[in-house]
Structure formats: structure tokens, C-alpha cells
């Protein structure tokens, strides 16, 4: 029976129930998939009516979908995404904005907006998203749910629309850490038993970069984590260079996004929505010298992150600079907030690291997330730490 979508979380062309088995670790759980992944027999719109009109209906599904069905999950539909996944707000000019159940007057975050909203509103038990620059982690913080960006390349993205391939990752949302962990056991390649981190690194410079009210709201959860792990150390991750780290992300993402979608945009000339239109226009005229310099700096950033992130170490950062912005916030204000958010979110992206946002705090009656970043391929470790944190 179709879900009563009271949140505008689901796309009209993807309202289909599928269950192939009632046996497996995900038996009894329902899930949705961001309309950025191909599912055989269901159109993919990628948040764009022109994409929907110019691409054939897929005949092969993303392996992510097949794995979830084989594990007993029940698929109940595809969810809204920001246009071509290039936004962090969740406001789609063509298909509307999903309602944020935890803060109805505020944006749900994007680009995995429908998946976050559907999960937060209890329409599904978990939902699949994708994360390039924060498209799972930020909506998770805004909507008060768990959300993970996995190690880059750990889960094949076959059947997903590309945005910036060197940053693109699969991720998912759930309201409980136990479900987050169970989904990970199904989706993560070469899954292994979780290991307890031995040391907690607290990103002193990034906590200082957010408003005092944000860091104060997160402090009780941070104290719990310190007590849970036992050993902690304050570190300066970017040493004041996080605006430059954000710019590196902007430049490389733009180059890769144009390489992935520029030919289609030039041929179709889609009517892109605000923000997305300007980003693709800028991407079309990137300076090769700026791109080359950004790639050199990215390597230094990766080296810095990997020097911190050993297999037995996790890094704690604020997920977001604040609570979800109000719906219809002026574009210039959103751009400022987006820049601040990317300064926090680009760390894991540059180095291809896993990061999970925990719904551990509120501010002004709105959700606020705290993030754990793990070493490469340590997804299981941060998922298990989230479970222990939830139990504590």
C-alpha cells in the first residue's frame, strides 16, 4: 500500500513497493532511495525535469538497491533530491521542498532532502542518499537523524548520477544507530568486525569556528564521547586554513561537475534553478591554473588528514555551523551559511574519509548534529561508536 506522503519526500514517478524476500538482516524494515540512483523500471530524474525527459528508463538497478532487497528490506519509493545534487538546502525549484519534520519552517537540507525528511518523519526505517560535499551529513543534522558518508569507493556507485566523482559517496539515514549499523553490514564491501577507537581527537579550531551557542549545545554529547573512549586530545586540524580548504573543494568539485554534466547541459540547455544555475555557469569557465593549484593543495590536505586519522583514532567536529536555515532565506544569506558549512564538511571529503552525524543536541528547539570522522575504511568503527554513544 503506497505511503501517505505528508512531507513531499517522495517523487511521483517512483512510488512503487518492492520486496523480494522477507528473510535477512533487514527483514521488517522499509527503505527509500534518493532519486539519483537507477532502479530498473523506474525513471531517474536527478531533481531535474529535463533529465527525466531526456534519459531512458533504467533497465539495471544500482547494486545498492539489489543488496538491500536481498537482505530483506522493503523498498517503498524514490525520494526528492536537489537539482543534479548540487545544493545543500533541499529547496528544488521544480519539485518543491520536502518538509523538515523536526523543524517544519526550516529547510531539510540537501541534496538528499527527501531521504532525510522521509526518515525523520517515520515514513521509512532508513533511506539511501549520496554525499559529495555534505549531502547526507547536513540534512541529518538539520532533521535530527543519523546520517553517514562512507569511505570514498567503499560502496560502488554504479547506477548513480555523477556529480564530482573524486568526492561522491553513498550514504544513508536512520533514526536509530542500530539500524545504521545493520545497513552498513549489508552495504559495505569487505565488511569486518568493528574495533573500538583508542583515541578521540577534538577539532579545537573547527569548534571555535562555529557560534558559541552551537559549541555549548554540543558540549554535553562531546563529554559523553570523551568518557566513552577514555583518551582525548585537542587538535588544530586546518590551522586557520579552512577557508582555503573550502575553496579547494569548490574548484575541484566545479571542474568535475562540468566534466560529468557539461556536455548534457550544453546540448539540452535545461532551465536550472537558482544557485545550481550559477554554479554550473561558473564551472564552465574554470581557470586551468586555479584547478592545478587546487589539486596540489588537496594533496597536502589529504596528507594532513591522514597524518591525524590512524585506524585507532577518530576526529570529532560539529556537523553544521548552526541549525537549519528558514525556508525561503535570501540567496545571499544562504551562500554565506553554505560556505561556513563546507568548511566543516570538506575535511572528510578531501581525504575520502567516513563521517557519521549523530543527532545529539538541539538549539532553539531545532536539531543539531555532532560528527565522528574515522580513518579510511573504518566505517564499521564509527557506526559501532554511534551505537555505544546511543546506549550511553
Superfamily for the 199-240+293-391 domain: Amidase signature (AS) domain (3.90.1300.10)
CA distance between the termini of the chain:
37
Provide the β-strand partners of residue 39.
42
Region 370-381: what's the mean pLDDT?
97
What's the pLDDT score for residue 3?
87
Which triple of cell numbers denotes residue 291? 584547478
Q: What integer is the mean pLDDT of 196-206?
A: 96
The one catalytic residue among 48, 61, 87, 111: 111
| Contact (Cβ atoms closer than 8 angstroms) between residue 315 and residue 306 | no
By C-alpha distance, which of 36, 35, 25 is closest to 67?
25
Helix axes 276-283 and 242-268, enclosed angle (nearest 10)? 90
185 is catalytic: no
Q: Which residues pair with 106 in a beta bridge?
A: 326
Q: Is the pLDDT of residue 392 over 90?
A: no
Catalytic residue from among 48, 135, 357, 371: 135
Report yes or no: 109 and 136 within 8 Å, Cβ to Cβ: no
Res. 95: pLDDT tops 80: yes
Per-residue pLDDT tens over the stretch 290-344 = 999 999 999 999 999 999 998 899 999 999 999 999 999 999 999 999 999 999 9
Query: How large is the average pLDDT for residues 66-81?
Result: 98
pLDDT of residue 1: 66
Residue 34 known to be catalytic: yes
Q: How many angstroms from the chain centroid is the CA of residue 241?
A: 23
CB 294 within 8 A of CB 245: no
CATH number for the domain formed by residue range(s) 12-187:
3.90.1300.10
The pLDDT tens digits for 210-252 are 999 999 999 999 999 999 999 999 999 998 899 999 999 999 9
What confidence tier does 191 reach under pLDDT thresholds 50, 70, 90?
confident
CB 172 within 8 A of CB 128: yes
Cβ proximity of 178 and 154 under 8 Å: no
- DSSP assigned state of 110: S
Question: What residues does each domain of the chain span?
Answer: 12-187, 199-240+293-391, 243-283
111 is catalytic: yes
Asked whether the domain spanning 199-240+293-391 has the same topology as the one spanning 12-187, the reply is yes
Mean pLDDT of the chain: 97
On whether the CB atoms of residues 359 and 369 are closer than 8 A, the answer is yes
Position 17 pLDDT exceeds 80: yes
Looking only at the bridges linking them, the beta strands covering 313-318 and 366-373 are antiparallel
Amino acid at each position: 500500500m503506497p505511503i501517505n506522503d505528508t512531507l513531499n519526500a517522495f517523487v511521483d514517478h517512483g512510488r512503487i513497493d518492492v520486496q523480494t524476500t522477507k528473510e535477512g538482516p533487514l527483514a521488517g524494515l522499509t527503505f527509500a532511495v534518493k532519486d539519483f540512483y537507477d532502479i530498473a523500471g523506474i525513471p531517474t530524474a536527478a531533481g531535474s525535469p529535463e533529465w527525466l525527459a531526456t534519459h531512458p528508463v533504467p533497465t539495471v538497478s544500482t547494486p545498492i538497491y539489489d543488496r538491500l532487497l536481498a537482505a530483506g528490506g522493503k523498498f517503498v519509493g524514490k525520494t526528492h533530491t536537489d537539482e543534479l545534487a548540487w545544493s545543500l538546502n533541499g529547496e528544488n525549484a521544480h519539485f518543491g521542498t520536502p518538509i523538515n519534520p523536526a523543524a517544519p519552517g526550516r529547510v531539510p537540507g540537501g541534496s538528499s532532502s527527501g531521504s532525510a525528511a522521509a526518515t525523520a518523519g517515520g515514513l521509512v526505517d532508513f533511506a539511501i542518499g549520496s554525499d559529495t560535499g555534505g549531502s547526507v551529513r547536513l540534512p541529518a543534522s538539520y532533521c535530527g537523524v543519523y546520517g553517514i558518508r562512507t569511505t570514498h569507493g567503499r560502496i560502488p556507485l554504479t547506477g548513480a548520477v555523477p556529480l564530482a566523482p573524486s568526492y561522491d559517496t553513498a550514504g544513508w539515514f536512520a533514526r536509530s544507530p542500530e539500524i545504521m549499523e545493520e545497513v552498513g553490514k549489508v552495504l559495505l564491501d569487505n565488511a569486518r568486525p568493528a574495533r573500538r577507537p583508542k583515541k578521540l581527537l577534538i577539532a579545537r579550531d573547527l569548534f571555535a569556528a562555529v557560534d558559541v551557542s552551537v559549541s555549548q549545545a554540543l558540549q554535553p554529547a562531546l563529554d559523553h564521547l570523551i568518557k566513552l573512549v577514555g583518551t582525548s586530545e585537542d587538535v588544530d586540524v586546518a590551522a586557520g586554513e579552512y577557508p582555503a580548504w573550502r575553496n579547494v573543494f569548490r574548484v575541484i568539485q566545479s571542474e568535475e561537475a562540468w566534466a560529468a554534466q557539461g556536455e548534457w547541459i550544453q546540448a539540452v540547455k535545461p532551465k536550472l534553478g537558482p544557485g545550481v544555475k550559477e554554479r554550473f555557469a561558473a564551472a564552465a569557465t574554470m581557470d586551468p591554473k586555479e584547478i592545478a593549484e587546487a589539486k596540489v593543495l588537496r594533496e597536502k590536505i589529504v596528507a594532513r588528514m591522514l597524518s591525524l586519522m590512524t585506524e585507532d583514532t577518530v576526529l570529532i567536529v560539529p556537523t553544521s555551523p548552526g541549525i537549519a536555515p528558514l525556508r525561503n532565506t535570501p540567496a545571499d544569506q544562504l551562500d554565506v551559511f553554505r560556505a561556513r558549512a563546507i568548511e566543516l564538511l570538506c575535511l572528510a571529503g578531501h581525504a575520502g574519509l567516513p563521517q557519521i552525524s549523530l543527532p545529539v543536541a538541539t538549539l532553539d528547539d531545532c536539531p543539531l548534529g555532532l560528527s565522528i570522522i574515522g580513518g579510511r575504511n573504518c566505517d564499521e568503527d564509527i557506526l559501532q561508536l554511534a551505537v555505544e554513544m546511543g546506549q550511553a
